[in-house]
Every structure is written in structure tokens, then in C-alpha cells.
Amino acid sequence: MRYAGLTDEPAKIKRELDPSTPSTLLRTGTLRAGKARDFKVMQQFTSEAAARQWERRMLGQGYQQDTTGKGWKYGYTFST
């Protein structure tokens, strides 16, 4: 699965997705194994509108929405 999301704290998300951590329960209620092979900050935003537009584009490209992060300053992707 490929995921895309927004956050103000990309380092925190990366730590949570580290393969050495136990499985993570997303706020959506789905269980995700903590094995992000390729976590990457894709873009930094200066407005929430631009961030949400990027998120919609990523979802349109087949990414699933990751709701782990809080905020909108950085757009990130990862695969599991």
C-alpha cells in the first residue's frame, strides 16, 4: 500500500513508521505494520490550501490517506 499525508512534525511520523517499532493503530482504526520502506517528505507548504490540493492530487494518483500526522506544513509519502 502507498500512503500520503500531511503533518507539521515529519520527524515524529518517520520515527513512528520505523521498522523497528511495533505495529501502529491508525486513528482511522486500521492496523498498519510499522514498516515504512520509503518514508519521504515530498513538499513543504506555506498555506493549508496548497497542502490540501497536493493531498487531493496524491489521492487521485492512487495513494491512501494517512491521518497519523497533525497539521499541514509538510506533505509525506511512504509504502508498506
| pLDDT for res 63 | 97
Q: Are 36 and 78 in contact (CB under 8 A)?
A: yes
| pLDDT for res 18 | 77
For 59-74, the pLDDT digits (tens) are 999 999 999 899 999 9
For 22-61, the pLDDT digits (tens) are 555 444 444 455 567 789 999 999 999 999 999 999 999 9
CA angle 18, 13, 67 (to 5 degrees): 120
pLDDT beyond 70 at 8: yes
Q: Are 28 and 21 in contact (CB under 8 A)?
A: no
pLDDT beyond 80 at 78: yes
